[in-house]
Amino acid sequence: MKETELRLLLREMSLEEKIGQLVQLPGYFQHEGAATGPAGDMGLTQEDLRLAGSYLSIIGAEKIRKLQTEFMAQHPHHIPLLFMADIINGYRTVFPIPLAQGCTFDTEAVQEGAAIAAREAAAAGIHVTFSPMADLVRDARWGRVMESTGEDPYLNGQMAAAMVRGYQGDNPKKKGKIAACLKHFAGYGAPEGGRDYNNVELSPRTLLEDHLPAYQEAVDAGCEVVMASFNTLDRVPSAANEWLFREVLRKKMGFSGMVISDWNALQELLAHGIAADQREAAFIALRAGVDMDMTSPIYTRNLKQLVEEGRVPEAWIDESAWRVLTLKNKLGLFERPFKDADEEDEKALLLSDAHRQAARDCAEKSFVLLKNEEQMLPLQGDEAAFIGPYVGSPYLNGAWSIFADDQDTVTVKAALSRHPKTKKAPTAPGCPINDPDQPVMGFQQPVAQDNLEPETALNEAVSIAKSAQKVVLCLGEHRECTGEAASRGDLTLPKCQLRLLEAVAAVNENIIVVLFGGRPMDIRPLKEKAKAILAAWLPGTEGGNAVVRTLLGESNPSGRLSMCFPYCVGQVPIHYNHLNTGRPYHGDCHAGRFGSKYQDIPNEPLYPFGFGLSYTAFSYSPVRLSADRMTKQGSLTASVTITNTGTCPGTETVQLYLRDLAASVARPVRMLKGFRKVALAPGESREVSFTVTEDMLRFYDLSMRYVSEPGDFEIFLGPDSQTQNKARFTLE
């Protein structure tokens, strides 16, 4: 539809119709009468349902085509619905969780994963996905770290932009593409105490320099929708924050698309204590710039009366309705209201061989080898027993894989049985995933406990471990222990799993741990007892195949941590790019007193950001600079030669960090500004170069100007955030 036609449509719509465009209803309302059930509880009428602009979490080509047809037939202007859903790391073919995708340091793999998710979701009738989540995460207690790509602003920005490109391509109207919704704006990843929905306290510089850049990358990549976060920022809930949306998002960041609230967030303005009643909540949210109300009755029940009273200008309604209509037009829904919903395409695309292959490749790239003493890995064949609750578990998809079927997931046990080198490998669960006295709550109901007799399971595992050359322990937290509303104060493994570790270690010292889960954990017992540790995260549909191939050396681990593993929960929040303090400290926590340190634990994490081992080894030459001075209009090149000094092919992730040695405000000890993956054969060397420009050195100075300042800088090129391979240059 041409813009002139769309504007004519808006002018012809009644006030009630325009307000309806601002409302998203939960999909289960389609199964309830308007006067009864949840819709009736919200005070919604059949007319409210008839005029809604969007439905949430309705899937399936047949269902959506039927609903769209019926809806448009009864709508006064035959305006199509938007269908939105949480397609976070895959639709039916599930990729690794986003935190694991961050560990790939591979934007092409991440973009391809989003493109596959879009193809499958589009065939099932979905128009918009609530992804990417660009929230910066530094506190592993927060369950939603699994949905972010990590603790670094630069890496998060690169990954968020890649996901937007994958979902939308160069035009979301095209077949197999859907619109991306950036979330959660803003600062949602820094809740106090790591507790979900909690208050966020960020200084202006921290917000601008650390948290906003990744959102900006997604906006620049063209994301069509932005979701308001649940949290307060500067004590103002995001859904009521006019400064945040109208000044920062729209004017400063240049976003022109639609803003949607999170689930019931407008109703929650009453609980926040900034709205006395629903009418005030509606006024505050619309004034702030929230265009669509997700699943609450706030807009539906209150906006018309506010307009009639003169408190809300109808121009505000028109502005938001225009953005909703524009999105529908960009998706081509006025000409093709079903868009790509097609039952035959669903059959052909969902879980296709090509999609499974891509999911397996991404999973393999996301695995991080944390430890490998005595060349415990790769395995040579059937010398290992596989023990632990994750050997046979299908729960490899992550908490947000709500449209996946666990029956489609390849477990480790299934992969072992199909591989000729491991089909005879003995297996045993050893214990349940969760402690029996610690029930886990899923999104809707408690998670069913594993049906195991604890002592029998443990004794069987120990018996198998005694006769094996090596033991692969598949351990980790349950997928429902991460995700939304899954904050935790204890980051250790369940007691039953630690008991299994101790029992196996007592009879076999050759332990390899494959660690599953959605967050970094306190894994000191694993580091002490195991000779090798592979972080496999929640790897998705092809997780079992990817794990077995990696353990056998058919895939060489190349993942690097996108979020550090803390020494213990007492360190969190923790991140590599911290400030130095006036009393920096590096060394023995028991030596001296007056440094910025703990008295009982180290300052450094157990494993730092960017860390990851390989089955081969790499050496780095000293850093070479094309010049030791740079003007603001110029640039310089930083180079290093990487050599594969091992015996097998491997991929190294070369990371570029910069440090400003003296500035008008304190600067981080180092900041990631680039990375490159290099595949090398044994004995092969390659020069890797990065161009350093003035814009990479900018920050918000003492007067809050975004500038670079003349002075000395250090540039680091190495395998992780703790590298000391560096050179110095001066900005003139």
Cis bond before residue 98 (omega within 30° of 0): no
Cis bond before residue 573 (omega within 30° of 0): yes
CATH number of 618-731: 2.60.40.10
Cβ-contact 577, 566 below 8 angstroms: no
Average pLDDT of the chain, as a whole number:
96
**Distance between CA 98 and CA 562 in Å, rounded?**
10
Instruction: Tell me which DSSP letter residue 723 carries.
Output: -
Q: Convert the pLDDT of each residue in 170-227 to its tens digit.
A: 999 999 999 999 999 999 999 999 999 999 999 999 999 999 999 999 999 999 999 9
Give pLDDT, residue 38. 64
* pLDDT at 68 > cutoff 50: yes
Q: Convert the pLDDT of each residue in 255-308 to its tens digit.
A: 999 999 999 999 999 999 999 999 999 999 999 999 999 999 999 999 999 999
**Distance between CA 542 and CA 113 in Å, rounded?**
13
Give pLDDT, residue 194. 98
What's the pLDDT band for 32 if we cut at 50, 70, 90? Answer: low
**Distance between CA 130 and CA 227 in Å, rounded?**
8
Burial 303-333 (b: 16+ CB within 10 A, else e): bbebbeeeebebebbbebbbbbbbbbbbbbb
What's the pLDDT band for 35 if we cut at 50, 70, 90? Answer: very low
* pLDDT at 34 > cutoff 60: no
Whole-angstrom CA distances from 627 to 623, 632, 635, 676, 695 are: 12, 14, 9, 21, 17
Beta strand extents in 395-525 (DSSP E only): 427-428, 470-476, 511-516
Torsion of CA 511, 516, 517, 518, to 10 degrees: 120
Average pLDDT for 331-346: 98
* pLDDT at 33 > cutoff 60: no
Residue holding tokens 């593409």? Answer: 177
In a 3-state reduction of DSSP, which class is residue 411?
Answer: coil
What's the pLDDT band for 31 if we cut at 50, 70, 90? Answer: low
**Distance between CA 223 and CA 164 in Å, rounded?**
6
pTM metric for this prediction: 0.97
* pLDDT at 552 > cutoff 80: yes
Q: Convert the pLDDT of each residue in 605-635 to its tens digit.
A: 999 999 999 999 999 999 999 999 999 999 9
In a 3-state reduction of DSSP, which class is residue 732?
Answer: coil
When mean pLDDT is compared across 193-202, 433-442, 487-496, 716-725, the lowest value belongs to: 433-442
**293 belongs to the catalytic site:** no
What's the pLDDT band for 29 if we cut at 50, 70, 90? Answer: confident
Q: Which residues contact 435 (CB under 8 A, 6 or more apart)?
A: 494, 495, 496
**Distance between CA 365 and CA 344 in Å, rounded?**
32
Q: Cβ-count burial of 285 within 10 angstroms (0-12 exposed, 13-18 middle, 19+ buried)?
A: buried
Q: Which residues contact 72 (CB under 8 A, 6 or more apart)?
A: 78, 79, 80, 81, 337
**Distance between CA 134 and CA 578 in Å, rounded?**
20
Q: Convert the pLDDT of each residue in 528-549 to its tens digit.
A: 999 999 999 999 999 999 999 9
Cβ-contact 451, 389 below 8 angstroms: no
Q: Name the architecture of domain 3-346.
A: Alpha-Beta Barrel (3.20)
Please name which of 651, 628, 501, 495 lies closest in space to residue 105, comparing C-alpha atoms. Answer: 651
705 vs 40, higher pLDDT: 705
Give pLDDT, residue 588. 77
Q: Convert the pLDDT of each residue in 413-470 to its tens digit.
A: 999 999 999 999 999 999 999 998 888 888 777 787 778 899 999 999 999 999 999 9
**Spans of all domains in the chain:** 3-346, 364-570, 618-731
What does 242-281 look like in DSSP terms, one character per residue? HIIIIIIIIIIT---SEEE--TTTTTHHHHHTS-SSHHHH
CATH 3.40.50.720 given to domain 364-570 = no
Average pLDDT for 633-657: 98
239 vs 585, higher pLDDT: 239
**Distance between CA 283 and CA 555 in Å, rounded?**
56
Identify how many contiguous H helices and E strands the chain contains and give both numbers. Answer: 22, 27
Cβ-contact 621, 640 below 8 angstroms: yes
Answer left, alpha or beta for residue 581, where phi above 0 means left and psi between -120 and 50 means alpha. left
Give pLDDT, residue 443. 77
> Could you give the percent of the chain with pLDDT greater than 70?
98
Please pick, among 139, 152, 210, 262, the residue that the annotation labels catalytic.
262
- Single-letter code of the amino acid located at 538: L
